[in-house]
Structure 1
Amino acid sequence: MADDEARIRALITKWADAVHRGDLDGVLADHAEDIVMFDVPPPHEGLHGLDAYRATWPPFFTWQAQGANFEIESLEVTAGTDVAYAYALLRCGTPEELTERPTLRLRLTLGLRKEGDRWLVAHEHHSFPHD
Structure 2
Amino acid sequence: MSVGDHDDIRVLLDDWAQALRDKNADAIISCHSATVRTFSLAPPLEAIGNDRAGLQAWLDTWEGGLEYDIRNTDLRVGGDIAWCSALAWLAGRKIGKEKSGFWFRLTVTFAREDGRWKIAHTHESVPFAMDGQPLALFDLKP
Query: How high is the TM-score relative to the length of structure 1?
Result: 0.81
User: Whose helix fraction is larger, Structure 1's or Structure 2's?
Assistant: 1
Q: Which amino acid aligns with 1:97?
A: S
What secondary structure is seen at the aligned counterpart in 2 of 1:122? Answer: strand
Across the aligned residues of Structure 1 and Structure 2, the Cα RMSD in angstroms comes to 2.0
| Cα offsets for 1:69-128 (capped at 9, x unmatched) | 222233221111110001221211347434xxxxx4122111111123201111111122
Over residues 45-87 of structure 1, what are the superposed CA-to-partner deviations in whole Å (9 max), with x where a residue is unaligned? Answer: x00112x3x3442233223325652222332211111100012
Secondary structure at the counterpart of residue 119 of structure 1: strand
8 Å contact from structure 2 (residues 85, 107) kept in 1: yes
The answer for unaligned runs of 5 or more in structure 2 is 94-98, 129-136, 138-142
After the TM superposition, which of the residue ranges 85-94 and 55-64 deviates more from structure 2? 55-64
> Gaps spanning 5+ residues in structure 1: where?
99-103
Tell me which residue corresponds to 2:47.
47
Q: Secondary structure at the match of 1:11?
A: helix
Task: From the two aligned structures, give the one with the greater strand fraction.
Answer: 2
TM-score normalised over the length of structure 2: 0.75
User: Equivalent of 1:125, from 120, 123, 126?
Assistant: 123
Inter-partner Cα distance in structure 2 for 1:94 and 1:33: 28
Taking only the aligned residue pairs, the percentage that are identical comes to 28
* Secondary structure in structure 1 of the residue aligned to 2:16: helix
* Structure label with greater radius of gyration: 2
Match of 1:41, SS state, is: coil
Identify the match of residue 97 of structure 1 among 81, 96, 100: 100
